[in-house]
Amino acid sequence: MGIESLVRPEILNLKRYVTARQESATVRMNANELPWPSQSDSATVPLMPLNRYPEIRPQQLQEVLADYYGVPLKCLLATRGSSEAIDLLIRAFCQAGRDSIVVTPPTFSMYRVYADIQGAETLSAPMLPCNNFQLDVDALLATCKPGTKIIFICSPNNPTGHVTPAAQILEIARARREKSIVVVDEAYAEFSEAVSLCSSLEGFDNIVVLRTLSKALALAGARCGAVVGAAPLIGWLDAMLAPYALATPVIDSVLRAFTVENLRTSRDALAHIVRERERLRKALSSQSQVEHIWPSQTNFLLVRFRNLGRVVDQLRLQRILVRDFPHDTQLAECARITVGTPEENDLLIAALRDGGEVS
Ligand code: PMP
């Protein structure tokens, strides 16, 4: 039976939208496009002109991503950021008013938002600060209801920065086989030394991995991510995703980012960010206003201050923004600080030091 029994029947039986055929070296008079490029094209010299629709699914881009993540092509779908993949998954599996998802707060809040939009209940299996935010697998499994279709595990987690061991994720996937899919959000995977769950997909048709180009690859503006999972599941999501979802300039810029030279540059940038993260941690940990800094395998640090309100005000004076969590009691007095350039990090360190001395 497998995961087929979990997906909404409407999605299983979905009749796909039939697009105008696309074949190379043909006269395209079937898609109501204009026959000549827009004037604005000449400014940027795009690889592909904009008067034509992009490929329904960009083949070369998906090949490049499958190769980069080390998965078969049929197991990957490129989406408009991993945000879109979260939305697709919830709509594919959760029936409104009946099904639920499980999240492990504090974590990325979009899982709940998309569940709310779909009318699916969100159940929480919290990761507690007193337990160093470690996942309690038994408590998570006890939280699941019969209609729990998706368990979201963000690893490395936003905003705590920690990795959930693969063994725990596999244990959950095993326990929930044929009951739930386990979505492992690896948005920050490149900043961590942990092995991607992409390498564990073979034995598990209920593990799905989300990746994004928005973080380590510095392409947040391109809006491109990928969902990786069992081929049938990818097929269902593919049927739901809008035709021509990725725009031509997006495809162009992503392909450019994956040349050998640009990949080398982005690997160097990544190493730089990790070094800066540890420099920032060291500098902040000696400051009197800082109470605790959690270990991080991401491009940010979660810091608990003695008086967050005052810190936020001090930083605002220097026009520095950090993320606070005013409605989350587990994260009281905490801020998530994204690692910046060395100059930006120095600015933050100085702003906190100077502010600390004033009082
Ligand atoms: N997952 C996590 C954990 C995130 O932090 C973010 C963005 N902050 C996303 C997914 C969505 O990223 P995008 O849509 O840009 O791929």
Given the structure tokens 């800082």, which residue do they identify? 290
Given the structure tokens 């360190």, which residue do they identify? 349
Q: What integer pLDDT is reported at residue 358 of this predicted model?
A: 45
How far is it, in rounded angstroms, from Cα 165 to Cα 250? 34
213 CA distance to ligand 1 middle (Å): 9
List the pLDDT tens digit at each of the 359 positions of the chain: 789 999 999 999 999 888 888 888 888 888 888 888 776 655 555 567 899 999 999 999 999 999 999 999 999 999 999 999 999 999 999 999 999 999 999 999 999 999 999 999 999 999 998 889 999 999 999 999 999 999 999 999 999 999 999 999 999 999 999 999 999 999 999 999 999 999 999 989 999 999 999 999 999 999 999 999 999 999 999 999 999 999 999 999 999 999 999 999 999 999 999 999 999 999 999 999 999 999 999 999 999 999 999 999 999 999 999 999 999 999 999 999 999 999 999 999 999 987 765 44
For ligand 1, pick from 86, 158, 210 the residue to mutate: most ligand atoms within 8 Å of CB. Answer: 158
Please, what is the angle between helix 248-257 and helix 59-69, to 10°? 40
Q: What integer pLDDT is reported at residue 28 of this predicted model?
A: 86
CA angle in degrees (0–180, nearest 5) for 274-263-246:
105
How far is it, in rounded angstroms, from Cα 151 to Cα 154? 10
**CA 215 to ligand 1: nearest atom:** 15
Are 289 and 352 in contact by the 8 Å Cβ rule? The answer is yes
Ligand 1, residues at Cβ distance < 6 Å = 81-83, 108, 154, 158, 185, 187, 212, 214, 220, 225
How far is it, in rounded angstroms, from Cα 189 to Cα 195? 8
State whether the Cα torsion 216-221-222-227 is positive or negative.
positive
Are 276 and 343 in contact by the 8 Å Cβ rule? The answer is no
Protein residue whose Cα sits closest to atom 8 of ligand 1: 108
Given the structure tokens 């031509």, which residue do they identify? 248
Are 55 and 22 in contact by the 8 Å Cβ rule? The answer is yes
pTM of the model as a whole: 0.95
154 CA distance to ligand 1 middle (Å): 10
Protein residue whose Cα sits closest to atom 6 of ligand 1: 187
CA angle in degrees (0–180, nearest 5) for 74-77-80:
170
How far is it, in rounded angstroms, from Cα 104 to Cα 82? 18
Q: Kindly state the tokens that stand for 44.
A: 């940027």
In terms of Cα–Cα distance, which of 137, 132, 186 is closest to 160? 132
For ligand 1, pick from 108, 113, 210, 219 the residue to mutate: most ligand atoms within 8 Å of CB. Answer: 108
287 CA distance to ligand 1 middle (Å): 30
Q: What integer pLDDT is reported at residue 20 of this predicted model?
A: 86
Q: Which strands make up the sheet holding 290-293, listed edge to edge?
A: 290-293, 300-305, 334-338, 323-324
Phi, psi of 188 (to 5 degrees): -110, 15
DSSP letter (8 states) at residue 215: S
Q: What integer pLDDT is reported at residue 44 of this predicted model?
A: 58
**CA 154 to ligand 1: nearest atom:** 3
In terms of Cα–Cα distance, which of 90, 139, 145 is closest to 114? 90
215 CA distance to ligand 1 middle (Å): 8
Q: What integer pLDDT is reported at residue 359 of this predicted model?
A: 42
